[in-house]
Amino acid sequence: MDTTINFNDVIKNSFLNEFTFGNLSIIDVMLGLLTAFIAGGFIYFIYKMTYRGVLYSPSFNATLLVMTMITCLVIMTISTNVVLSLGMVGALSIVRFRTAIKDPFDVVFMFWAIAAGISSGAGLYFLTLFGAVVVGAVIFMLSRKKHTDTLYLLVIHYYEDGNDEVRRELQQLDYTLKSKIVRKDVVELTAELRLKIDNTAFMNRLNDIEEVRDVSLVQYNGDYAV
């Protein structure tokens, strides 16, 4: 009797026979979604409490909560069948996310939400909740760190005749020239300032210069200003 097992037999025995779906009880589903909801709600709370950017986005924060629960559902779905998991990976690979992330720290919260959804969907409830507490504590401590100075953008519009006086005032500040635009005899100067305290008396001195049309100061985080 020929007992030789070829490669196709191995594939059939170990893979193709696994088309049947596994079973997830209603309790497992409820526990997974509940854990994902609690972890997502905790991520929502930490993001709102620790956000230090210029523009807080409630919709992005709500997305973190929903993302956690959706990831949990995906993991529970693919855990029931190997073939289905491969198909879903292929389907998800064609998805392209075009939303720009303004604050690099937002990426941390996105990965945190995905990781919490994966662990809760895999049934690792204690790991999900304990990990959320530890990561949240680390982020909270980092957000409490005091910054010695704050970045601002100073925008000045003035006539070219006042160039020397404007430069003389700027030399008293810790600034970096970002741009200078000349439109006929009007100059638009943009400088990056570092201020340790909210002392803006220099704006009054600049505005008192006869050739200066207006002076604007906006908070700056390195990517964009509002």
Q: What's the CA angle centered on 80, arms 92 and 127, to 5 degrees?
A: 85
Q: Tell me if 202 is assigned to some domain.
A: yes
Mean pLDDT value of segment 57-69: 87
Residue 130's pLDDT band, with cuts at 50, 70 and 90, is very high
Q: Looking at the DSSP assignment, which residues form a beta bridge with residue 218?
A: 153
How many Cα atoms are found within 13 Å in the side-chain-facing hemisphere of 38? 17
Do both 156 and 114 map to the same domain? Answer: no
Is 50 contained in some domain? yes
- Residues 203, 94 share a domain: no
Amino acid 152: pLDDT? 80
> Same structural domain for residues 180 and 123?
no
* Boundary residue ending a domain (110, 143, 176): 143
Q: How many domains does the chain have?
A: 2
Quote the distance between the C-alpha of residue 100 and its chain's center: 9
pLDDT at res. 1: 47
What CATH number did the domain enclosing 183 receive? 3.30.70.260
Give CA angle at 105 (100, 110), nearest 5°: 70
- 31 and 128 share one domain: yes
Residue 80 located in a structural domain: yes
139 and 154 fall within a common domain: no
| Residue 5 counted as domain residue | no
193-205 pLDDT, tens per residue? Answer: 877 666 777 888 8
Choose the final residue of a domain: 90, 121, 143.
Answer: 143
- Whether residues 154 and 193 share a domain: the answer is yes
- Are 84 and 130 in the same domain? yes
Q: Which domain holds residue 193?
A: 150-219
pLDDT band with cut points at 50, 70 and 90 for residue 190: confident
- Do 58 and 137 share a domain, yes or no? yes
Ramachandran sector of residue 175 (left: φ over 0; alpha: ψ -120 to 50; beta: rest): beta
- Which DSSP category does 160 fall into? G
Strand order in the sheet with 150-159: 175-183, 186-195, 150-159, 212-219
Task: Read off the pLDDT band of 45 (50, 70, 90).
Answer: very high
**Chain segment 8-33, per-residue pLDDT in tens:** 555 555 555 554 455 677 888 889 89
Give every CB contact of residue 94 below 8 A, 6+ residues apart in sequence.
Answer: none
Give percent above pLDDT 90 in the chain.
13
From the CB of residue 75, how many other CB atoms can be counted at a distance below 10 Å?
Answer: 20
Same domain, 66 and 167: no
Residues 139 and 170 in one domain: no
Q: Which of 143, 164, 190 is the last residue of a domain?
A: 143
